Amino acid sequence: MVFSKTLVVLVCLAGAAASALPTRAGTNCTSSQQAAIECFVANAVATDLTKPRYGMTLAQFESYGVAISEILQTHQTYLVLVGISSAAADAMPPTNLNGSANLLAQQNAVSEIVAAANTAGLVSIPAKTTLHEMEWFALDVSGAMNDNNGVLQLLTPGVAFRMIDSYVVTATSKGEVNWTEVDANLTTAVDSFVKAGLIKIPAGLSTAKVAAFANALAHIIYSYKVATGRTTLG
């Protein structure tokens, strides 16, 4: 239920800047968009709609609320972060192979994928936002999507992750991964997909950056599998 409440708060934040919110002690909540959002977050915490997480203080949580509003006003960055979250919730569940809980493995993977996407130029950090806040946003969304009643298994947003994992599995022998083979084969695959029109490269990106992101994903996926006792993604 915590993540369900979180998703409600994320949606509400998109319009919080345009809302006339009650004034809290020492703050004029209608003085600016940032003040309005900070008041919204403070009120949400005070009424137990949500609470600070990932070790944040209330002040940091209010700043995170401002960052969420900035992220939701982007196009490419917002879509990539939601795409990462849904793919992770589908292909990299917060459990070990034996079914026991392992949320940390999924959270580490999501954070590392967001960082890799930033390095590759698939996302850009919005104003009043940090990379950590982008990672937290993706963690909140993937956490909410973990409870999906099997819908993600139907939509399979994690198919790209599974495809990348197949290159890791193929290059694995006696428990050892030939990373030179993985990186070369993924680079060739991305180049072929782009030339065939199966991957459309957005403006400002290049085939080389997309291939670098795919290679980074392969290493992150492998680390997740090791942490959860898997040999392949689910």
Domain end residue (candidates: 33, 57, 72): 72
Average pLDDT of the residues of the chain: 89
> Quick one: residue 121, left, alpha or beta (phi over 0 = left, psi -120 to 50 = alpha)?
left
- 């890799």: which residue's tokens? 116
Same domain, 64 and 94: no
Q: Is residue 43 part of a domain?
A: yes
| Interhelix angle 131-146/58-72, nearest 10 degrees | 80
C-alpha distances out from residue 40 to 17, 52, 202, Å: 9, 13, 35
Q: Is residue 139 part of a domain?
A: no
Q: Is residue 219 part of a domain?
A: yes
What does the DSSP 8-state code read for residue 1? -
| Interhelix angle 103-120/207-228, nearest 10 degrees | 170
Same domain, 84 and 182: yes
Q: What is the pLDDT of residues 70-126, one digit of tens each?
A: 999 998 999 999 999 999 999 999 999 999 999 999 999 999 999 999 999 999 999
Cβ within 8 Å of residue 141, ≥6 positions away: 7, 10, 81, 82, 85, 86
Phi first, then psi: give them for residue 151, nearest 5 degrees. Answer: -65, -40
Same domain, 55 and 97: no
What is the bridge-based pairing of β-strands 176-177 and 172-173?
antiparallel
Q: Is residue 137 part of a domain?
A: no
Per-residue pLDDT at 63: 93
Same domain, 90 and 157: yes
Distance of CA 45 to the CA centre of its chain: 23
| Interhelix angle 179-195/207-228, nearest 10 degrees | 130
Same domain, 46 and 82: no
pTM score, whole prediction: 0.87
Sign of CA dihedral 14, 18, 20, 21: positive
Domain end residue (candidates: 72, 91, 110): 72
Same domain, 87 and 60: no
Same domain, 210 and 184: yes
Q: Is residue 33 part of a domain?
A: yes
Q: For residue 231, which of 179, 183, 180, 172 has the smallest C-alpha distance?
A: 172
Q: What is the pLDDT of residues 132-169, one digit of tens each?
A: 999 999 999 999 999 888 888 788 899 999 999 999 99
Look at residue 26 and tell me whether its pLDDT is greater than 70.
no
Beta bridge partners of 101: 95
Same domain, 91 and 154: yes
**What's the residue count for the chain?**
234
Q: Is residue 135 part of a domain?
A: no
- 């960052």: which residue's tokens? 67
C-alpha distances out from residue 39 to 29, 42, 121, 136, 205, Å: 6, 5, 33, 20, 38
Per-residue pLDDT at 158: 94
Residue scoring higher pLDDT (94 or 18): 94
Same domain, 176 and 61: no
Give the number of domains in the chain.
Answer: 2
Query: What whole-number distance in Å separates Cα of residue 84 and Cα of residue 67?
Result: 18
Same domain, 34 and 87: no
Structural domain including 62 reads: 2-72
